[in-house]
């Protein structure tokens, strides 16, 4: 591609950036493409390096990635992705359709729980939870509060798997339907619980846990098994334990 063509791609990138999702790194681009993201161009420091990654890690996408690839210099990549991924790959994609996400989150009956993160503070944790939800087949992830679950840091933490599940921010009084289970140290031991497929699994902030308001609305409270004198688990770890328990004990 000529220098002028590259400059045109970069101009288009900058024009689209305010309303687009930044996919930072090869794995984010790979997952987004596999789950139907609308990606026009894939920027890379080295086209040969991108081909090698595709051949090794995503041969099913090798031809598609090669057709979309645009080789740009390191300085240009840094101007677009402030903290470029070590793979030197980035792309922009349209956000997954909100109406489709809301339809998936609110439909009943559901085949898998919805995860609710009440006012999360760490975007990396949000991304990690999305990655877990996608891997274990949850219906989706809902956040409340000010953190945008589609922020570039969350999408990077989720490795592009926001396109594999329904991810939305909702008001705390508009959670998806279904029996509400909150994770709380005073609840019933998770190991004794049978979680239904339509459960809404709510996790509180990293520091304070679920709010009193959310706790008062819960149908059930669950506690994670924990050794005495250990105060808490990481948010993503708590989500993983709970979703794994659901997957392990559900009726096929």
- CATH number for the region 98-249 comes to 3.40.1280.10
Above 90 in pLDDT, residue 238? yes
pLDDT digits (tens, 9 = 90+) for 196-224: 999 999 999 867 789 999 999 999 999 99
- What is the number of other CB atoms lying within 10 angstroms of the CB of residue 121? 15
The string of pLDDT tens digits covering residues 64-107 is 999 999 888 887 788 777 788 899 999 989 899 999 999 999 99
Identify any residues that bridge with 209 across adjacent strands, giving them in sequence order: 205
CATH, domain 3-93, list 3.90.25, 3.90.550, 1.10.8, 3.30.1330: 3.30.1330
Higher model confidence: residue 248 or residue 10? Answer: 248
Inter-residue contact 71 to 7 (CB < 8 Å) = no
User: Quick one: pLDDT at residue 231?
Assistant: 79
Strand partners, 117: 143, 203
Domain spans of the chain, in order of start? 3-93, 98-249
């Amino acid at each position: 591609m000529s220098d002028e063509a590259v400059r045109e791609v970069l101009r288009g990138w900058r024009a689209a950036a305010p309303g687009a999702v930044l996919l930072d790194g090869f794995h984010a681009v790979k997952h987004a493409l596999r789950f139907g993201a609308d990606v026009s161009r894939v920027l890379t420091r080295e086209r040969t390096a991108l081909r090698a990654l595709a051949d090794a890690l995503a041969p099913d996408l090798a031809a598609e990635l090669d057709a979309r690839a645009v080789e740009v210099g390191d300085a240009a990549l840094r101007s677009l992705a402030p903290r470029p991924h070590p793979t030197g790959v980035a792309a922009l994609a349209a956000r997954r359709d909100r109406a489709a996400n809301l339809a998936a989150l609110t439909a009943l009956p559901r085949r898998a729980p919805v995860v609710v993160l009440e006012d999360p503070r760490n975007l990396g944790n949000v991304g990690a939870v999305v990655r877990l939800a996608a891997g274990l087949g949850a219906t989706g992830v809902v956040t409340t509060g000010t953190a945008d679950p589609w922020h570039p840091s969350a999408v990077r933490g989720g490795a592009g798997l926001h396109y594999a599940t329904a991810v939305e921010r909702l008001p705390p009084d508009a959670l998806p339907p279904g029996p509400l289970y909150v994770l709380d140290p005073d609840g019933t031991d998770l190991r004794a619980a049978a979680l239904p497929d339509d459960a809404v699994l709510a996790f509180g902030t990293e520091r304070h846990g679920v709010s009193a308001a959310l706790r008062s609305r819960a149908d059930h409270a669950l506690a994670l098994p924990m050794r005495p004198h250990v105060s808490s688990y990481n948010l993503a770890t708590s989500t993983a334990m709970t979703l794994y328990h659901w997957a392990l004990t559900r009726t096929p």
